[in-house]
Amino acid sequence: MANDSRPAVPVDHFWMPFTANRQFKTSPRLLESAEGMYYTDTDGRQVIDGTAGLWCCNAGHGRREITEAVSKQIARMDFAPTFQMGHPLPFELAERLAEIAPAGLNRVFFTNSGSESADTALKVALAYQRAIGQGSRTRLIGRELAYHGVGFGGISVGGMGNNRKAFSSSLIPGVDHLPHTLDLTRNAFTRGLPEHGAELADELERLVTLHGADNIAAVIVEPMSGSAGVILPPQGYLQRLREITRKHGILLIFDEVITGFGRVGEAFAAQRWGVTPDILTCAKGLTNGAVPMGAVFVSEQIHEAFMHGPESAIEFFHGYTYSGHPVACAAALATQEIYQRENLFQKAIELEGYWQDALFSLQGLPNVTDIRTVGLVAGIQFAPHADGVGKRGYEVFRQCFEDGLLARASGDTIALSPALIVEREHIDAMVDRLANAIRKN
């Protein structure tokens, strides 16, 4: 029931992102406060956060240390430019991040979001090839079903049809897509990484034959696709991509906006799966979602390639007003401190077995066509409803929320990605609520 003493929230003017605005506004779902594993909505109901916000609050909600760091910083210095100026925090943060990054990725460019990180990474790749005298390498390769945010670069290498179709003729030129690796016929209900599909990486060889390696700048993939419904890399797939890219002088970019900061165990998926890219993007968990911030890690060798010419020359004509924003840096430093102190990057590995068993208890429920889990992520896929693709996923999501669980629907897949502070009792409650919602739909 709505709280009568509260004025109704005026819902007309906010054009909501990635939302069915008209449907939502007839019956809004509004969150008001958050603590630990729970949201409280505007009706005062507690909702378990099964999605760490939007894959970002990996240390759980309401972390006092982050609040204090942010409020102290905003009082001391609200903003300072980082164009031809500086302040200590982004230097400190970059050094700290380099310590947990995959080996060798120790130069950090700051952005404000995952989308900006993706576009920045693509620009670094193109500019790097030019800087080393390989200016003909202008082509970029993404993958079907990939999500790299909503900038023109990101949607061009991205592979989700709905995000691209209104902009089809404005996408950046010279982009190809590898096939996606979702294969229910061969891999449905596999526990852990799918057995089949490493050979899909060989499609890159086909594109090399087609275009010539000397025309290809970079390949970008999410080590695990989150937004398309938790698509796991087949065993050996990332290794093969690494081998082929290295062989042909093509840069490999990992988009770790979702997988970064402990989601699949270790700090980054690159470390969990033992494959080091040349460039790595992140955002979300960098600040525990508290302040917008993203980052792009590059190898020292890539960075070095830019450090030529007159010392007075700007080496890379790129940056954002808020790159290295002091408040975001303060949030990120406090967040990294929590991750380290509480050893949270290990949590996804410690709980992986329990999580997987709990989720696989849903196997056999009506319309469940696949379950995919790794670390503390799960995708539960359903057969589409007769009324159309996405309807069942949405209805399960809606029912979950009514029953006190925030899940995320992507088409007919429900994704779960709880904060890394999750305990077994939360997992049990999430799976119970999800099972109930599945039975009703």
Judged by the rule CB under 6 A, the positions of this chain that interact with ligand PLP are 113-115, 118, 147-149, 222, 226-227, 255, 257-258, 283
In the complex with ligand PLP, which residue's Cβ is closer, 305 or 406?
Answer: 406
Q: Cα(141)–Cα(218) distance, rounded to whole angstroms?
A: 6
Nearest approach, Cβ of residue 310 and ligand PLP (Å): 35
Cβ–Cβ < 8 Å for 297, 105: yes
In the complex with ligand PLP, which residue's Cβ is closer, 226 or 262?
Answer: 226
Nearest approach, Cβ of residue 56 and ligand PLP (Å): 8
Q: Cα(296)–Cα(121) distance, rounded to whole angstroms?
A: 6
Nearest approach, Cβ of residue 361 and ligand PLP (Å): 27
In the complex with ligand PLP, which residue's Cβ is closer, 157 or 371?
Answer: 157
CB atoms within 10 A of CB 387: 9
Residue 111 backbone class (left: φ over 0; alpha: ψ -120 to 50; beta: rest): beta
Nearest approach, Cβ of residue 6 and ligand PLP (Å): 30
Nearest approach, Cβ of residue 72 and ligand PLP (Å): 25
In the complex with ligand PLP, which residue's Cβ is closer, 141 or 305?
Answer: 141
Nearest approach, Cβ of residue 305 and ligand PLP (Å): 25
In the complex with ligand PLP, which residue's Cβ is closer, 227 or 276?
Answer: 227
Cα four-point dihedral sign 243, 244, 245, 248: positive
Distant-in-sequence, close-in-space partners of 441: CB < 8 Å, separation ≥ 6: 367, 382, 385, 392, 395, 396, 399
Q: What is the DSSP string of 284-321?
A: GGGGTTSS--EEEEE-HHHHHHHS-S-TTS-S-----T
In the complex with ligand PLP, which residue's Cβ is closer, 59 or 431?
Answer: 59
Nearest approach, Cβ of residue 115 and ligand PLP (Å): 3
In the complex with ligand PLP, which residue's Cβ is closer, 228 or 368?
Answer: 228
For residues 101-116, b (16+ Cβ closer than 10 Å) or e, as one string? Answer: bbeebbbbbbbbbbbb
Nearest approach, Cβ of residue 135 and ligand PLP (Å): 27
Degrees, nearest 5: CA angle 376-417-324: 105
- Taking alpha carbons only, the member of 215, 219, 296 closest to residue 253 is 219
Q: What is the DSSP string of 247-268?
A: HHT-EEEEE-TTTTTTTTSSSS
Distant-in-sequence, close-in-space partners of 189: CB < 8 Å, separation ≥ 6: 360, 363, 370, 371
Alpha carbon separation from 359 to 239, 356, 414, 416, 428 (Å, rounded): 28, 5, 12, 10, 9
Cβ–Cβ < 8 Å for 377, 358: no
In the complex with ligand PLP, which residue's Cβ is closer, 226 or 326?
Answer: 226
In the complex with ligand PLP, which residue's Cβ is closer, 121 or 344?
Answer: 121
Q: Cα(113)–Cα(261) distance, rounded to whole angstroms?
A: 15
Nearest approach, Cβ of residue 286 and ligand PLP (Å): 10
In the complex with ligand PLP, which residue's Cβ is closer, 226 or 234?
Answer: 226
Nearest approach, Cβ of residue 25 and ligand PLP (Å): 22
Question: What single-letter amino acid sits at 220?
Answer: I
Tokens of 30: 């509004």
- The residue number with the shortest CB distance to ligand PLP is 114
